[in-house]
Amino acid sequence: MLRQGGTAADAALAMMLALTVVEPASSGIGGGGFFMYHDSKADDVATIDGRETAPAALREDRFLGLDGKVKDFPEGIIGGYSVGVPGNIALMAKAHARWGNLPWEKLFQPAITLAEKGYVATPRLAGTIAKMAPRWDGLDATKAVYFQDGRPKVAGEVIRNPALAKTLRRIARKGPRAFYTGQIAKKIASAVSNAPLNAAPMTVADLATYEAKERPPVCVLYRVYRLCGMGPPSSGATTVFQILGMVERFDLKALGPENPQAWHLIAEAMQLAYADREKYLADPDYVAVPVPGLLDEAYIASRSALVSENKARSSYAAGTPPGAEPRTAALSGEVTGTTHFVAADRFGNVANMTSTVQGPFGSQLVAAGMILNNELSDFSFAPIKDGAPVANRPQPGKRPLSSMSPTIVYSSDGKPIFAVGAAGGKRIIMQVAKTLIAHLDWGMNAQAALAAPNIYFDGDALLLERGTPLEAQAEALVQFGHVVRVTAITPSKANAVEQTTAGWVGAADPRSDGAWLND
């Protein structure tokens, strides 16, 4: 797309369409996403929210059993219960109209070719198919694409998807409304409403009224850099920037990645920031989200003051940011799927997009050849906690909370110099925060920063990535008072571009199938 005179927007949107075909377990037009764009002409950054919405018939008790108790998470994520109205095509239309150079139809051609002629299943995709196939009893449309001779396709076999090629051709020819009305909309609504498992009402009106929304970007200063990210219903920018804000008073550069104290400080900030995430973040069209308060300098300083240089906290409660309404904290369920990709062009534009069907393989349902998302499982299953409504509770038309964290970094003179994002459910936030610290504080190039160890938490334990230098620091972190568990922190699927003296250079997480191409 870039070689044909396209912009970074054209390239990113064509990638989204192609990934619909070749990475169906993670993202595609049956899901949604968030799109960031640095517009070189306007010298500004904009963000588009293409997050899925709940159908009008959704009830707050969607994920409660007959006994009033929350269903087990796996019960709610397969079939019709979890499918939101897809947003990626509407997002694409809005981005293309504003920043695209190439004809709409041209962006679809690589994806159509891949769907018609086929592509070779990678070991990762084949492994995911094998893992999910036992859940596909009765899902004939899904098996039609990903089974061969009555068994799941394996690595090296060709996958063709003529139904998806037909869908893509129709949207390419007739425009974005062809997705949200007519044959395609009817097929999506029918697949959800008549699902063999967890059938749930979705109508063509739900699709016809969907709107991708431009949202104000969330921007902060970190040391000498300006960082911008995606605001609610993404929790990415606020949580990533809280983590960075809390560690900013420490000299992470002097400590370096080999010093366990650096990871201790990151771990403490991480857990405090996630506590605020669970309490305050949700769809801003339904809930007052105190974004300015969460990023208020005095509030961040007060949260940072809770971080001891030498001792782990025994608990990590949410704070009370300025402007926050009384709120009840409740965990949301986010599984580890999603795809991230970046494009930078000769004109100085940068497109940074995270796209998802949740996953793996979303709801497991296929309509018009596409995997349908299971994004409604990102709502907090319990609508009420401690007698008060939960911010991220299910509601009709609402967008579930997300952790997707596309981020663009600007130099002190206002030039974009780095763009990053990741896949992996709630772990997206920490992958991005870690990468930013590794790049901006520890001076690692983009590739090394992505490869740096991952750190997360689970219950009462601090998780350290097995097989990385961080594993050797486990005992030292125990001495700080952490309960530590060394484990595989997967999936890790971050991607980035950085501005160098030779121009833009791409980087991909070595743990994933990601790749980059410099022209």
Secondary structure in 3-state letters for 223-257: CCEEEEECCCCECHHHHHHHHHHHHCCCCHHHHCC
Residue 276 to residues 247, 271, 327, 335: CA-CA distances in angstroms? Answer: 16, 9, 10, 20
pLDDT score, position 254: 98
Tens of each residue's pLDDT in the chain, 519 residues:
999 999 999 999 999 999 999 999 999 999 999 999 999 999 999 999 999 999 999 999 888 888 888 877 666 678 999 999 999 999 999 999 999 999 999 999 999 999 999 999 999 999 999 999 999 999 999 999 999 999 999 999 999 999 999 999 999 999 999 999 999 999 999 999 999 989 999 999 999 999 999 999 999 999 999 999 999 999 999 999 999 999 999 999 999 999 999 999 999 999 999 999 999 999 999 999 999 999 999 999 999 999 999 999 999 999 999 999 888 776 655 555 789 999 999 999 999 999 999 989 999 999 999 999 999 999 998 888 888 889 999 999 999 999 999 999 999 999 999 999 999 989 999 999 999 999 999 999 999 999 999 999 998 899 999 999 999 999 999 999 999 999 998 778 999 999 999 999 999 999 988 888 876
pLDDT score, position 111: 98
pLDDT score, position 73: 63
pLDDT score, position 139: 94
Contact call for residues 28 and 337 (beta carbons, < 8 A) = no
Task: Answer yes or no: 239 catalytic.
Answer: no
pLDDT score, position 5: 96
Distance CA(47)–CA(94), nearest Å, equals: 11
pLDDT score, position 331: 62
Distance CA(148)–CA(213), nearest Å, equals: 40
pLDDT score, position 21: 98
Distance CA(309)–CA(402), nearest Å, equals: 31
pLDDT score, position 357: 95
Q: State the catalytic residue, choosing from 53, 128, 336, 338.
A: 338
Going by their DSSP bridges, the two strands 416-421 and 407-410 should be labelled as: antiparallel
pLDDT score, position 162: 98
